[in-house]
C-alpha cells in the first residue's frame, strides 16, 4: 500500500513539475553576455605562436609581467609584418597572423581605456 502511494505521489510531482522543464523561447536566460569572448579554445595558442612566444616563455611570470611580455612581442611582430606587407612580401599565413595580432592589440587598447 505504501509502495503504491509513493508511486502515485512521484507520478503526481512529475506531472506538476514537467511544464517547468519545458524550454521557454520568449525569455531565454542562456544568452551570452557582451563580455564573453567568442574565441576558439586554440586561438590563444595560435596567437602566442604568431608572436613568437610559447606557454613556457610565460610560465612563472606574474599577470602584469605576462601581459607586458605579450604586448611587447605583439607590437614587435606587428611592426615586422606591416613592413613585409608594405614590401609586398607577406604570405597568406602572415596576413592571417597580422589580422589576429591587430585584433588583440585593439582589444588590449580598448580594455586599457576601460580601466
Residue-wise pLDDT tens digits, 58-85: 999 999 999 999 999 999 999 999 999 9
Return d(Cα 97, Cα 84) in angstroms, integer.
12
Give the rounded percent of residues in the chain with a pLDDT score beyond 90.
Answer: 45
Cα dist from 29 to 20, 33, 38, 46, 71, whole Å: 14, 10, 18, 32, 36
- Number of domains the chain contains: 1
pTM of the model: 0.61
How many residues would you count in the chain? 115
Note down the domain range covering 73. Answer: 63-115
| Residue 14 located in a structural domain | no
Mean pLDDT of the chain: 81
| Residue 21 located in a structural domain | no
Give residue 26's pLDDT band: very low, low, confident or very high (50, 70, 90): low
Amino acid at each position: 500500500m505504501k509502495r503504491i502511494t509513493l508511486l502515485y505521489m512521484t507520478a503526481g510531482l512529475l506531472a506538476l513539475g514537467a511544464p517547468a522543464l519545458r524550454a521557454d523561447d520568449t525569455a531565454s536566460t542562456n544568452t551570452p553576455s557582451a563580455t564573453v569572448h567568442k574565441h576558439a579554445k586554440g586561438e590563444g595558442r595560435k596567437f602566442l605562436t604568431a608572436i613568437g612566444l610559447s606557454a613556457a616563455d610565460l610560465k612563472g611570470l606574474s599577470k602584469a609581467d605576462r601581459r607586458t611580455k605579450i604586448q611587447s612581442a605583439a607590437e614587435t611582430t606587428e611592426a615586422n609584418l606591416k613592413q613585409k606587407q608594405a614590401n609586398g612580401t607577406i604570405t597568406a599565413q602572415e596576413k592571417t597572423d597580422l589580422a589576429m595580432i591587430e585584433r588583440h592589440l585593439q582589444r588590449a587598447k580598448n580594455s586599457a581605456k576601460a580601466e
